């Protein structure tokens, strides 16, 4: 039996947060589900608490990376963390499968891969750029470079400087690899809510792009980051 704290960063997710919390609570090794309510104005925190989560409530929006950091700071020292997106709903139960390589001492971080086409539209360019950045940084091709579904060794997680906002995931992968941590990807039957293709969706992708670029640049330099990004645009077969 492992001692796992699940951290769910959430902003305005009344539509899915209760189902996500309920699903995570069913995972035997999860001793606590911690929802970091990042300045929501729709009652996400209250709904999550009713569903059984402990709430870390942030008064103003700090972004995903710092929200997860607040969750880690509030969590004591669990053996492992599960990081799970708030919009997974019932499918969050599959996060249980990510814990296996950690309990077998076969990996320090496990990334959950969505089924094909599980990702929302408009993600292609960003995903390709992130894949190329990680390939150039680590020599490995990741299927889901920006997946928020992760199991991470506890003491390793607490030793890292987490990248701000949506740079969290790419920063984690670069830093865990650099620290000598073993990283595994596992396919799971995850699903999440689609990001729209309207102005809001486009703005969301633009912010993710900015954050991924900044997290990469602060670790690998702007030159290397821009080289990886342009390579991802020019070639289709190199990753």
Closer residue to Mg ion in complex, CB, 2/193: 193
Q: Is 192 an interacting residue with respect to Mg ion (CB under 5 A)?
A: yes
Residue 18, contacted partner among Mg ion, ligand GDP, none, CB below 5-8 A by kind: none
User: Token pair of 136, please?
Assistant: 């150039």
Closer residue to ligand GDP in complex, CB, 87/97: 87
- Least distance between ligand GDP and beta carbon 141 (Å): 20
User: Token pair of 89, please?
Assistant: 């709903």
CB atoms closer than 10 angstroms to residue 138: 15
- Least distance between ligand GDP and beta carbon 10 (Å): 4
Q: Is 136 an interacting residue with respect to Mg ion (CB under 5 A)?
A: no
Strand partners, 32: 5
- The residues binding ligand GDP (CB under 6 A) are 9-11, 13, 36, 38, 61, 63-64, 67, 85-87, 120, 148, 192, 195
Name the packing angle between helices 199-220 and 168-178 (round to 10°): 20
Q: Is 169 an interacting residue with respect to Mg ion (CB under 5 A)?
A: no
The helix (H) or strand (E) run that includes residue 138 is helix 124-138
164-181 residues labelled b (16+ CB within 10 A) or e (exposed):
bbbbbbbbbbbbbbeeeb
Closest of 207, 156, 159, 187 to residue 11, by C-alpha: 207
Strand partners, 131: none
Q: Is 11 an interacting residue with respect to Mg ion (CB under 5 A)?
A: no
The residue sitting closest to Mg ion, measured at its beta carbon, is 192
- Least distance between Mg ion and beta carbon 222 (Å): 28
Q: Is 87 an interacting residue with respect to Mg ion (CB under 5 A)?
A: yes
Closer residue to Mg ion in complex, CB, 111/156: 111
Q: Whats the size of the chain, residue-wise?
A: 239
**Interacting span for Mg ion (CB under 5 A) from 87-95, 152-160, 165-173, 224-232:** 87-95
Residue 61, contacted partner among ligand GDP, Mg ion, none, CB below 5-8 A by kind: ligand GDP
Question: How many residues interact with Mg ion (rule CB under 5 A)?
Answer: 2
Closer residue to ligand GDP in complex, CB, 178/210: 210
Closer residue to ligand GDP in complex, CB, 103/120: 120
What separation, in Å, do the N-terminal and C-terminal C-alpha atoms of the chain show? 38
- Least distance between ligand GDP and beta carbon 227 (Å): 25
94-133 residues labelled b (16+ CB within 10 A) or e (exposed):
bbbbbbebbeeeebbbbbbbbeeebbbebeeebbbbbbbb
What residues make contact with Mg ion under the rule CB under 5 A? 87, 192
């Amino acid at each position: 039996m492992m001692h796992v704290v699940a951290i769910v960063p959430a902003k305005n997710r009344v539509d899915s947060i209760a189902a996500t919390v309920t699903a995570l609570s069913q995972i035997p090794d999860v001793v606590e589900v911690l929802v970091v309510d990042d300045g929501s104005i729709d009652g996400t925190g209250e709904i999550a608490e009713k569903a059984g989560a402990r709430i870390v409530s942030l008064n103003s929006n700090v972004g995903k990376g710092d929200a997860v950091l607040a969750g880690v700071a509030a969590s004591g020292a669990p053996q492992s963390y599960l990081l799970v997106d708030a919009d997974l709903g019932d499918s969050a139960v599959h996060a249980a499968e990510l814990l296996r390589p950690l309990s077998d001492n076969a990996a320090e971080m496990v990334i959950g891969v969505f089924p094909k086409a599980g990702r929302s539209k408009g993600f292609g360019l960003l995903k390709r750029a992130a894949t190329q950045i990680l390939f150039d940084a680590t020599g490995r091709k990741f299927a889901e470079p920006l997946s928020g579904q992760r199991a991470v060794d506890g003491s390793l997680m607490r030793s890292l400087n987490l990248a701000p906002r949506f740079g969290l995931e790419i920063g984690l992968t670069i830093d865990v690899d650099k620290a000598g941590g073993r990283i595994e990807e596992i396919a799971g039957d995850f699903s999440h809510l689609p990001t729209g293709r309207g102005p809001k969706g486009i703005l969301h992708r633009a912010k993710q792009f900015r954050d991924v670029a900044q997290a990469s640049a602060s670790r690998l330099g702007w030159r290397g980051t821009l080289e990886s990004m342009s390579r991802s645009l020019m070639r289709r077969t190199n990753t």
